[in-house]
Amino acid sequence: ACPPILAIDGPAGAGKSTVTRQAAAALGLLYLDTGAMYRAATWWLMTAKVNLGDPIAVAETISQCRIEFVPQSQPGLAPKVFINGQDITQAIRAPAVTAHVSQVAAQPAVRKILVKQQQLLGQNGGVAAEGRDIGTHVFPQAGLKIFLTASVEERAKRRWQELQAQGNPDISLAQLQADISQRDYADQHRAYAPFRPAPDAIEIVTDQLSIEAVIAEIIRLYQVRF
């Protein structure tokens, strides 16, 4: 039998990446960061100077892209992301990419291409996938669906601390909060496959929880169920 899929959806800055990666490692599942795929597509389009407002040009360009994940030797490290053979692991986290990704991710043709690739990766189960539409569209059959969230204040604070630690002291907390709110809004209000919790998802509000506690709870839920 196929190992059941773990689907983790949530807004920007809720801690999805760390939580999903660690849970995947503990449960022996393949980690799939679907946000990285939308970021990779956006980076490629911006680098190729494709007009992001032209859905036909965008779709044509994306259909020719090959996105790959390369696991790192050290467990717990995020996999490297490649597009058409080029390592863009760092580049896709740039503020310019973050600022434009929702516009690209709103386009149905882009979503259809990337969702198909995601479903292919999960066709034999055994995947822990994180994103915005995993429980609703990509893997509606997932064995366990988590909706991971936190207040926008808390999420902005975490991002700010992360950026400080990386030596980016220039961004204000207020600006981060505004950016996060704007991206949440765009993702929730797009016409096609909007970001929303699956009806059968278990919601975890992480404001008062440590990352370790969240990971432990998700592992527990998965093991209790399977």
Q: Which residues bind ligand C5P (CB under 6 A)?
A: 12, 34-35, 38-39, 101-102, 105, 131-133, 183, 187
Nearest to ligand C5P of 105, 215 (CB atom): 105
Nearest to ligand C5P of 91, 105 (CB atom): 105
Q: Is 173 helix (H, G, I), strand (E, B) or coil?
A: helix
DSSP tally for the chain: helices H, then strands E? 8, 8
In angstroms, what is the minimal distance from the CB of 69 to ligand C5P?
13
Nearest to ligand C5P of 3, 35 (CB atom): 35
In angstroms, what is the minimal distance from the CB of 39 to ligand C5P?
6
Nearest to ligand C5P of 68, 220 (CB atom): 68
Edge-to-edge strand list for the sheet holding 6-9? 30-33, 127-131, 6-9, 144-149, 202-205
In angstroms, what is the minimal distance from the CB of 189 to ligand C5P?
11
Cα 144 to chain centroid, rounded: 17
Nearest to ligand C5P of 73, 166 (CB atom): 166
Per DSSP, the residues of 32-92 read EEHHHHHHHHHHHHHHTT--TT-HHHHHHHHHT--EEEE--SSTTSPPEEEETTEE-TTGG
State the Cα–Cα distance between residues 71 and 132, nearest whole angstrom.
Answer: 22
State the Cα–Cα distance between residues 142 and 139, nearest whole angstrom.
Answer: 5
In angstroms, what is the minimal distance from the CB of 142 to ligand C5P?
13
In angstroms, what is the minimal distance from the CB of 223 to ligand C5P?
25
